[in-house]
Structure 1
Amino acid sequence: MTKNILLKFAKKGINLSPDAYLKVMKSDNPINFASDLIVKLKSSDFKPVDLISVSGKTIDEITGNETLQSGDDTSESKKESPKKEDAIKPKSKLDTSKDKEKTSSSEGIIKMEDSEKIEDANVEFKRNQEKINVEYDFEVIQDSSNKSYTSGEIGDLIAYFQSRYEKLSKILKQRPDLKMTTKVADIEDGQTTLNLILMVKEIRSTKNGHRFVEFEDDTGSISILFSNKNEELFAEAEKLVKDEVVGVIANKDNDFVIANQLIYPGVSRIQEKEMDFGIVFLSDVHIGSLTFLEDAFQKFIDWINCEYGNEEQRKIAEDIKYLIIAGDIVDGIGVYPNQDKELSIKDIRQQYDEAARFLGNIRSDIKIIITPGNHDASRLAEPQPAVPEEYAKSLYKLNNVEFVSNPAVVSLDGINVLIYHGESFNELPMAIKGLSYEKNELMMEELLRKRHLAPIYGERTPLASELEDYLVIEHVPDIFHTGHIHINSYKKFNGIHMINSGTFQTQTDYQKIKNIEPTPAQVPVIHKGQYKLFRFID
C-alpha cells in the first residue's frame, strides 16, 4: 500500500515531507485520503516548487484539520531554527531484508517562509549588454539537482548506506592490502588474519583506555579492539566517526579480534595541471543582512572588472575566467529565530534581485557558478538541489550563470573543482579531537581522507536518505572549495588546492556567542595554478 500511495503522489509531481507522509498513513483510509489530497493540492494555487516538499501544516490547512490524530507531532515551530530531526536507523544500516518499518528523514523543506510575490525587477545587467568572445570548456561532472527523491522509508535508508558502502569499497579495493577481502559472514573458525572493508557502527572506550569499535558490512557485524599500546594505530582510530567506511587488517584469536592496521580511502598525490587563467572563489556573501559588507563587495566587483587595485592586481583580474560562489549568496528568510531583526531586505526574492544587481555588473566574459547553502532557497537536507528559478528569477536572467547542486563537481577548462558549502563542519570538531573552525583546512583534509563530505548520519548535519549517496568523493578533485564557517583558509594537500573562501559578512551575534572570529572580504584566487588572496577591507 505504501508504494502505491507514494507513486500516486510522485506521478503528480508531489513530494511529501516526513510529517506529511505520516499524516497520510495515519488517516482512516490512506488511499482515499491520498486521492482527495492530490485533487485539492493540484486544484489549489500552488506552483510546482510549492509541491516539493508538502509539509504537514499544508495538509492541515488544505483539509481544514489541525490535528489528524492525537500524539501526531507535526509542529512547524522547528522551522524557526531548522535542525535535522533524529533519524531512526535500522538495526543494521546495510541490512538487505525487506523491513517495512518507517523512518524519519530530513529531506526536505525549503527553509524560507513564503514571501509576497513581487514584480520582476527591471534590472539592467552589464553582462547582458556585452558580447562574449570567450570560449569556455565548462562541464558539470556531478549535480544531484534532478536526481533527488526519497520517501523517507527504511528501505531508502538501507539503499543509501549500501550505496555509500559500495562506492567506498570500490575505492578501498584499489589498495594492495585490500584487493582480497573477507565478508564478516564468511570468516571461518580457524582463520587468524582478517582483511575487511567495514562501516563504523558504534565506538566506545574500555576502562583501560582502549577503543572498541563495532563494525558491519552487508553480511554481519564484528567488534574489533584498537589497543592504546599501539600508539600510532590508536591515534588513527581516534579519528574514526560513525558511518564512515574503512579498511581494517586484524588478527583473530577465537572470538577476540585485535586491529593491526586501519586504512582510510584517502587520496593519492595528483599531478598538477597547467592553467593559463584564473578562478575566483566566494561563499557566504549574505546579501540582505544588515551585516553584509556592501562597500567591500563593490570594491571586489570593481577589481574583477579591472577597475580597482594596483597594476599587478588588475593584470590578475584580466585573467579571471570563472567565479564560483559556494552557497549563502543571500541571507535568506526564517533561517533562525528573530532573523528579520537582522535583515536589510526582508523578502527572499528581493534578496536575490539585489544579488543579481551586483553579479549582473561583473564583466560579461566571466562565467559564474552558483551552489546553494543553508541560507539559500533550497531544502536544508544535503544534497541540496540548485537554487530554484522561482526565487532567483533575476539571477537566472544573467547570461553565463550556471546553477548547480550542493555538493557539485565542475570541470573548468580541465580543472576539476569539488564545491561543497560545508554544513558538516558544524560537527567534525566535536567528533574528532584536534579539529576546529579556525583550522578548517584540517577538516577539509580529513574529509578527503575519508572520501566523504558528511560521513556522520543522523546528528547535526541534515542528510537526505537518497537511494544513492551523492556525498561520497568518488573522483579526486584538483580544487576543493568550501565555505559556511566564514573563516578563510588554504592548504595544499597531495597536490589538491583546499580553499575555504570566508565571507562578506561581519561577525554575527551567533558567532559572538561561539567566539568565532570571521575573516570578511578576503577573496581567494587560483591564478595560473598559484594561490592568491585579495583583501577588500581595511
Structure 2
Amino acid sequence: MEDILAYSNDKKVLVNKDALDLLKNLEEWKEIIDKAKLENAFVIDAIFVEKNKKIKHKEPLNVEIKKSWNAEAKNIQANYKILEEYNINKDSFSKGKIDDFLVYFQDKFKFLDSLLRKHQINAKETSRLKTIPNKTDVDVIGMVSKKWTSKNGHLAMELEDFEGKCIGLVMKKDEALLREAELAIPDSVIAIKGTKLSNDLIIVKAILFPDVQIKGERTIAKDVSIAGISDMHIGSKLFQEKTFENFLKWINRKAGESSKLAEKVKYLVITGDNVDGIGIYPSQFDELAIKSISKQYELFSELILQIPEYIEIFIIPGQHDAVRWADPQPQIPEEMVPELAKKKNIHFLSSPGWVAIEGLKILLYHGPALHDLFSQISYLNASKPAKGMASLLKRRDLMCGYGLSRPYVPESKDYMLMREEPDIVFMGEHHRFDIDTYRGITVVNNSTFQAQTAYQFGLGHIPTPGIVSVINLKTRKLEQVNLNEI
C-alpha cells in the first residue's frame, strides 16, 4: 500500500480510500495510475479503477460430471483430416511484384474457367469474336475487369480472357438479369450467353457463375455434433466474460438441461478474432482491458484449456489476431499459444482453412471480405451475413475484388478460391449469428463474445453475442444455444 501511495505521489495523482483498497489487490496498479496521469485525472476513485482494471484470469472451472450425464461424444473416436493443400502455412513466397499478381490472377482464371466449362456452354475466346457473324448467339468466359452504366442507362461489363477483351451489355429493362449482374463484381470470373452485336459487343441474355452443384445435405452414420463460436476479442473491455463462462459451463455439461446438446459435441470450430489485439485501430488502446498481446493470448489459452480434451478444436485467425492483416491469413504462431500448441486435440488452421470432419468438408473463414461484397451488392448487408456467404459459394471465390478495403497477398496459388465444394461453411467477423442453406451446404455466421462497440453503435449495427451453433452431423439439424439464458 505504501508503494502505491509513493508512486501516485510521484505522479502527482491522489488516490482515495476506496480506490486504494481496490488497487492493492491488482497487479496492474501502476498502469492504472499512469493512465490517470495521462488523462490529467486529479483523483483516482473506485469507479476509475473498476473501469480500467484488467480482466481477471479465472481459475479453471472445477467441473464434476455426473455419471448419468456421461458425454456420448467422449467415447467416440474422432475422424478428421486437415486439408493441408488448401491451408496456407506460415511461409509466404510472394514478393508482391507484378509477376506475382500475374500468376495469382492466372491461377484464379484457369480454375474458375474450368468450372464454367462444365456448364452447357460453348465458350469462345474473345479473340475469335471477330470471326463470328453479327447477330449470332455466342458464349464467352471472362474475368470482369470493370463495370459502368452506358449513356443509354444499360449496364456494361468489360470481360477479359487470355486472348483479349469484350463488352457485355445488360439491358436496363431486364431487372432480373440486372440483379444477377450485381454479383458479377470486378475480378469475378463468369460466363455470359448472348447475341454478338459487333466485334467486341455482346447483348447479354444470361449470366452463369462457377457455382456449386445442387445436392442434398450429406450426413454421416455417427451421432456426433460440431459446434461453432467466434470473435471472443479477449483483452477488450467489452469481452463478455460471464457469457463465456456460461459457454464453458455448457460445453462441460454443467448448465443443466441446456447442456444436453453438448453431450454429442465432438468438434468445435472457432472462426477468428480470438483476442482484441494491439494497435488495430487508432482509439483501441483506451478500449483495452489487457494491453499486452501476449497477456491476451495467455487468457485465451487459459479459457480454451477448460474445454474437455475429447473435443477436437479447430481455430483460425482474424484481423485482430497476431498474424498479417491481408488474406489469406496464416495460422496463429505457436509461440503466441505455446500451451495450446502442445495439445493434440487443438488445431490451428489458416483463414481460409479447410478440414474434413467425419468425411464432410468444412470451410472456415473469418469473413472480412464480405464487407467489400456488401458495399457492391444492393440486396446484401451485414445484418444477414449468411446470404452474403451463400453468394460467395455461387462465385466459388472468397475474394470480393482486389484493391478495395480488404488487402490480399498474391500467392502463387489462390487460396481464396473454393476448390472443393464444402458441406458446411463457418465464418465470423460480423458479430451476428445467422444461418442459411445453399444447394445442400449449411452456412453459419458464428456469434461473438463482445458487446456492441462504439463503432458498431455509430453504424447502427446490432450484434447478437452469446449464441453457439450446434450441427448434428447425423441429421444435419442445426440448433442454437443462447448462453445469455443459462
Match of 1:297 in 2: 244
Counterpart contact for 2:370–2:400, Cα < 8 Å? no
Q: What's the TM-score once normalised by structure 2's chain length?
A: 0.81
2:282 matches 1:337: yes
Which structure 2 segments of 5+ residues have no match?
A: 1-56, 64-73
Deviation at 1:196, TM superposition (A): 1.2
Match of 1:430 in 2: 375
Match of 2:338 in 1: 393
What letter corresponds to residue 369 of structure 1 in structure 2?
Answer: F
Deviation at 1:230, TM superposition (A): 2.7
Q: What's the TM-score once normalised by structure 1's chain length?
A: 0.73
Deviation at 1:271, TM superposition (A): 3.0
Match of 1:181 in 2: 123
2:335 matches 1:384: no
What letter corresponds to residue 144 of structure 1 in structure 2?
Answer: I
Residue 519 (structure 1) aligned to one of 464, 469, 479 = 464
Match of 1:243 in 2: 187
What letter corresponds to residue 255 of structure 2 in structure 1?
Answer: Y
Summarize the alignment of residues 465-476 of structure 1 with structure 2, pairs less than 5 Å apart.
Answer: 465-476=410-421
Match of 1:448 in 2: 393
Counterpart contact for 1:352–1:395, Cα < 8 Å? no
Deviation at 1:231, TM superposition (A): 2.8
Counterpart contact for 2:372–2:400, Cα < 8 Å? no
- Which deviations, in whole Å up to 9, do the C-alpha atoms of 1:263-293 show, x marking residues without a partner? 0111222232224201110110111111001
Match of 1:413 in 2: 358
What letter corresponds to residue 164 of structure 1 in structure 2?
Answer: K
Counterpart contact for 1:250–1:259, Cα < 8 Å? yes
- CA gap of 1:405–1:374, structure 2 versus 1, over 3 A, is same
Residue 216 (structure 1) aligned to one of 160, 174, 178 = 160
Summarize the alignment of residues 164-179 of structure 1 with structure 2, pairs less than 5 Å apart.
Answer: 164-177=108-121
Q: How high is the sequence identity, in percent, across the aligned residues?
A: 35
Match of 2:80 in 1: 138
What letter corresponds to residue 107 of structure 2 in structure 1?
Answer: S
SS of alignment partner, residue 314 of structure 1: helix
Match of 1:155 in 2: 99
SS of alignment partner, residue 257 of structure 1: strand
Match of 1:323 in 2: 268
For 1:147 and 1:245, how far apart are their aligned partners in 2? 28
For 1:210 and 1:381, how far apart are their aligned partners in 2? 35
For 1:420 and 1:149, how far apart are their aligned partners in 2? 21
Residue 175 (structure 2) aligned to one of 231, 250, 264 = 231
SS of alignment partner, residue 202 of structure 1: strand
What letter corresponds to residue 206 of structure 1 in structure 2?
Answer: S
What letter corresponds to residue 291 of structure 2 in structure 1?
Answer: K
Counterpart contact for 2:142–2:189, Cα < 8 Å? yes
2:250 matches 1:306: no
Count of residue correspondences: 410
Counterpart contact for 1:126–1:364, Cα < 8 Å? no
What letter corresponds to residue 366 of structure 2 in structure 1?
Answer: H
- CA gap of 1:194–1:147, structure 2 versus 1, over 3 A, is farther
- CA gap of 1:369–1:125, structure 2 versus 1, over 3 A, is farther
- Which deviations, in whole Å up to 9, do the C-alpha atoms of 1:469-502 show, x marking residues without a partner? 1111111111011100101101111111110012
Match of 1:366 in 2: 311
Match of 1:89 in 2: none
2:478 matches 1:534: no
Counterpart contact for 1:190–1:254, Cα < 8 Å? no
Match of 1:65 in 2: none
What letter corresponds to residue 483 of structure 2 in structure 1?
Answer: F
- CA gap of 1:462–1:309, structure 2 versus 1, over 3 A, is farther
For 1:170 and 1:254, how far apart are their aligned partners in 2? 27
Counterpart contact for 1:203–1:211, Cα < 8 Å? yes
- Which deviations, in whole Å up to 9, do the C-alpha atoms of 1:416-460 show, x marking residues without a partner? 111110011212121011111101111011111111111311111
